[in-house]
Structure 1
Amino acid sequence: MLRFTLVLMLAAGVVLAVALSGWRRETAPARAPVPSAANAQASAAAPASARRPAAPAGAGDSLRDTAVDGALTLDAAGKPVVDRAMRRLFDYFLTRLGERDLAAIRNDLRRYLQPRLGAPAQAQVLAWFDAYVALERESAALGVGSDLRADLERRRELRRRRLGAAVAQAWYGEEELRLAQTIARQALLRDHGLTPAQRAARLRELEAAQSDATRVESDNVTLAMRQSAQFEAQGIGPERRYAEREAAFGAPAAQRLADLDQRRAHWNRRVAEYRAGRERVLADRSLDAAQRQARLTALLAPFDARERLRVEALTRDDPRH
């Protein structure tokens, strides 16, 4: 059973404990008939179904009589965008952990996606779901120490290593910023070297800086995601992408986004090559079952264990899978 509830010292506060634990629900599932807060850009093909329970619910089902929380945001090309609403959608389905096994929950999500997305987009969302589940397991295994700032940094590093900077920022950036702010505030309150007047002045400075930083960070992330989606949809080349990003966010951010573009393009090429090789193997009628399986396994050899999960998720709905 997958449960990521950790206990921190009382001085840290319950909010820090839940957020640092890894898995958490941002809000409880809304009870019907209250509608979900659907994203304005989410697919509007089946708005009514988004307000029904995700799957048939029994008397002991924690999602019984609830509305689906979260949403799917689509870019100009109709492709799903990684954002906080997607993470809330995953958390909604994962509320059933302990009642259903993970495979059944994943299938619930797949059935929810089917009428809303085409096969490639469904596969991509399910791959992100698999990555999210794996990350939260690993994050929970880190444990919690006495240094909350160090714990937060360990999780920040893990998330970016496992998901990439863009996905980690979209899913966790706002939460991490709030936690960092809370930790900084607590440090000031515990600093006995400050007079009451000094502490009050430092707290006012911190609150002013945090308000500006939160707004700028949130705006920049949103803008960068929208800009990247437009670049992809319009087929904008690397040089123009860099120039526009540098003007908007500065050279370091433009370079990080360019690196992300390269990694994404490299990954897409690898998946395309695997798909083409797989199609050739499946079309070769001279192979028996054992030979076919051996060649399919060989095609997966260049991928590490985590990548294989993503590849298998992306190709699960391909013809002849």
Structure 2
Amino acid sequence: MKRSTLLSVTALLTVTVATAIALFTLSPAPDPKTATGVPREATSAPAGVLDAGQILTAARAISDALPPLPDHLTDAMPDITFQTDANGDLIPTLATRNIFDFFLSALEDEPLEQVLARLERTLSSHLEEPALTQARDLLERYLSYRIELDALAKQAQPVMTSSGFDVVALQQRQETLEGLRQGRFSGTEAEAFFGLEETQDRHMLEYLRISQDSSLSDNERNRALASLEQQLPQALREVRQRVTRNGEVYRQVNQMRAAGASDAEVFQARTHVLGAEAATRLAELDQQRAQWQQRLDDFLQARNRIRQSGMSVSDQQAAIDDLIASRFTGAEVVRARALSAEL
């Protein structure tokens, strides 16, 4: 994916623990299913939660009449690849989940039905039967999973003690979260979609246990943490090393800019650590953000002049609506309206 993730290790640990474990207080999940699909009754959403099947049906009806994808999402588009076996059945992979997540990340820019219509068009243009129907079913169950997690997360709070996170409570929540996944997905699907994530979450739980174990000396704790790190799969160790490196570059660039460094100096620093290709992409992203910020600043100045013009409230709103329509297009309109209301 053409998107650089600049997070420190601390940020990664916080995200992993706070979102994947601590925020979810879930009900017991059904027993894992071994079939390729999960029975409908096992995947029904709780009362009051949106029905994923109905949403997807509405999305398919508009999949042939979609506006272009917003530019900033087009630039971040992952490779669209699906795997099938010799019989034409879908093989669930992490890449499949990444495709689902990429389109769902557009919810800040577009309504849900339109986002899902793009996913429907992607599935139908890359897959044939029986994989197409299987992918649609998998998407419906994944959407139900995401909707339910979102609803439940709003009702839960992180569990903290004087020593930090309550590890016992986190363990219970992790087990329940994994049970929820097993209740919605087959073993193969759950492993493909969440296997690495669950390995990382279990690693973090053990990290917290060791860190909070008062019976250990500093040397014993350091040795235990070093041993724990070596138990991670190579793929996860590489990710953690990359995140650490990106986080260090992010902090370095912020310090350089605060000290008045030029764009050329920033590019050179990024190239030294990340390589020329990544440095070029980040420079392009910097430019896009700067251009957007300048456009937004110009719009806000014009909007403020309208608000100070002495016109009636209704005339002011009409003038601001015209201003937005003349300066922004597509998803930019939604972002401009939201930011205008906040600033």
Larger relative contact order (CA 8 Å, sep ≥ 6): 2
TM-score scaled by structure 1? 0.47
Q: TM-score, normalised by structure 2?
A: 0.44
Larger radius of gyration: 2
Instruction: Choose between structure 1 and 2: higher helix proportion.
Output: 2
